[in-house]
Amino acid sequence: MSGRNLTTLRTRRSGDMDTDVVIVGAGPTGLVLAIDLARRGVRALLVEKADQLFPGSRGKGLQPRSQEVFDDLGVLPGILAAGSAYPRMLAWEGAERQGEWDMLERSEPTEQVPYAEVLLIPQSRTQELLYARLLELGGAVRFGAALTGFRQDEDGVTAELSTGGTVRAAYLVAADGGRSTVRRGLGIGMTGETVDPRPMLVADLRLSPGAVVDRGNWHIWAKAPGGGVALCPLPGGDTFQLVAGFEDETAAVDTSPGAVRALLAERTPLTGDEVVEVLWASDFRARAAMADRFRDGRVLLAGDAAHVHSPAGGQGLNTSVQDAYNLGWKLGQVLRHGAPTALLDSYEAERQPVAADVLGLSTRIHRASAEGRGTQRGAEVQQLGLGYRDSALSVETRAGLTEDALRAGDRAPDGPYGAARLFDLFRGPHFTLLAVGVPLPAVRTDAIRAARLDAYESYGTGLFLIRPDGYVGWAGANADGLDAYLAAVGAGGPERPRDLVTADA
């Protein structure tokens, strides 16, 4: 993005808005945000410089918390149908099978956690399903349109596109990936480190049916000459994801189909001929870095534009999805329901500490795996324990809670609600007021869904206002202070959306 573009764009008046939000980049972050805005009636223009969705499998692990997000967004049935459980690992030395182990600590679904395990699904398939949902909601992606420049002023942002012309919007969200041109254009630095200076190759392959590797395991040659190799069978076809390391830091990685075939023939018992097709290949070096700021005025950074991870532990895509999910309802409340713009300050305040923790986690897992220790993944990668207790948006008015009590800032767990589930109540763009073991108060606003249930172990008792992104925003023994909270998040309006019900379990 040139300086000229940044400085020479024409500024138009605020009344001229072409759309509410320009989203740059149709990766997982941009697609999730576009879906969330579409279901809130917020106009968005999603521009993508490529002519099509990204075709590779790279972020292939969908953590339980992301599955909950996808449940809320209406994409989970398709995701579950297209994905599979993670296979067990199978260690090889040359052509000899050495034994199996499980990378995951397996767990069963519970009332509170309906999706208990990471799901294996290629990133390209996840993106296709998100895109289909966006179309269903009346949204679109403008492919082949790169953001080439932008300028912001007090009233809005003017974006310049490679297809010609400018677009005026109230906000611009940079979902344009790790090399974000928006972030660079703003001069926001990335602070971090190289996790591993040795390059890696990642590719999607089709192998011939008679090949020595079966589709029941994730095959690992940890001590292969030149660097370790992993072949993971991907659901929904006959493809495998190849990840190969290089011991030599200075190695120039050749991603051509011929070089990928030669690498497999050299390091594994597969012959080059058994590789029927190389569908996609790329190289990378594991980095962990975070943008110094996630917001500059009317421009917000989300996903890889704000933080880049080692792929170890499957955190990058998942953290990105949740950035978008955190931001979507806040933009909706500001743009559609008159919430103070200060609500947007909470985006960086809430997501930066989460990103910092997740970066630390993926770096630890990467280094432990590289050193051959601690390769099993447990609850720490599932993102169910992440929350916002320290956020200014988390208001806990009850005193004397026990250490393990559910409180403001925590993820709101699922649970039974009559013949249905609490997640059925939460599903949609609204706030939910739960009266658990206490009477449901007559709240002044109708812009929330309200329900009463008997005291329930994972909630205890009290009034819980659940944010649209599934966290407890406010909690109290009674409704004192609730109205003020609702006003601060733009949910104090008088209208009653027709589909919202007040119910008793």
Ligand X SMILES: Cc1cc2nc3c(=O)[nH]c(=O)nc-3n(C[C@H](O)[C@H](O)[C@H](O)COP(=O)(O)OP(=O)(O)OC[C@H]3O[C@@H](n4cnc5c(N)ncnc54)[C@H](O)[C@@H]3O)c2cc1C
Name the residues that contact ligand X, by CB under 6 A: 24-30, 47-50, 54, 58-61, 123, 146-147, 175-177, 181, 202, 282, 284, 303-304, 311, 314-318, 320
Contacts of 373 (CB under 8 A, 6+ apart): none
Instruction: Pick the closer one to ligand X by CB: 316 or 460.
Output: 316
Q: Rounded to the nearest whole angstrom, what is the least distance from the CB of residue 371 to ligand X in the complex?
A: 19
Q: Can you tell me the distance from the alpha carbon of 152 to that of 157, in angstroms, rounded to the nearest whole number?
A: 4
Q: Rounded to the nearest whole angstrom, what is the least distance from the CB of residue 106 to ligand X in the complex?
A: 19
Instruction: Pick the closer one to ligand X by CB: 272 or 284.
Output: 284
Retrieve residue 406's tokens. 């559910």
Instruction: Pick the closer one to ligand X by CB: 177 or 462.
Output: 177
Retrieve residue 411's tokens. 């993820």
Q: Rounded to the nearest whole angstrom, what is the least distance from the CB of residue 56 to ligand X in the complex?
A: 8
Closest C-alpha among 403, 349, 301 to residue 33 = 301
Instruction: Pick the closer one to ligand X by CB: 17 or 50.
Output: 50
Q: Can you tell me the distance from the alpha carbon of 140 to that of 315, in angstroms, rounded to the nearest whole number?
A: 27
Instruction: Pick the closer one to ligand X by CB: 282 or 376.
Output: 282
| Amino acid present at 213 | V
Q: Can you tell me the distance from the alpha carbon of 7 to that of 182, in angstroms, rounded to the nearest whole number?
A: 14
Q: Rounded to the nearest whole angstrom, what is the least distance from the CB of residue 481 to ligand X in the complex?
A: 37
Q: Rounded to the nearest whole angstrom, what is the least distance from the CB of residue 147 to ligand X in the complex?
A: 4
Instruction: Pick the closer one to ligand X by CB: 104 or 175.
Output: 175
Instruction: Pick the closer one to ligand X by CB: 8 or 52.
Output: 52
Q: Can you tell me the distance from the alpha carbon of 193 to that of 190, in angstroms, rounded to the nearest whole number?
A: 9
DSSP 101: E
CA torsion 215-221-222-224 (nearest 10°) is: -160
Backbone torsion region of residue 242, taken as left when φ is above 0, otherwise alpha when ψ lies between -120 and 50, otherwise beta:
beta
Give the containing element (helix H, strand E) for 330.
Answer: helix 316-337
Q: Rounded to the nearest whole angstrom, what is the least distance from the CB of residue 288 to ligand X in the complex?
A: 12
Q: How far is CA 309 from CA 215, 227, 228, 312, 363, in A?
A: 28, 21, 20, 8, 7
Q: Rounded to the nearest whole angstrom, what is the least distance from the CB of residue 127 to ligand X in the complex?
A: 8
Q: Rounded to the nearest whole angstrom, what is the least distance from the CB of residue 307 to ligand X in the complex?
A: 8
Retrieve residue 263's tokens. 């690498």
Instruction: Pick the closer one to ligand X by CB: 59 or 64.
Output: 59
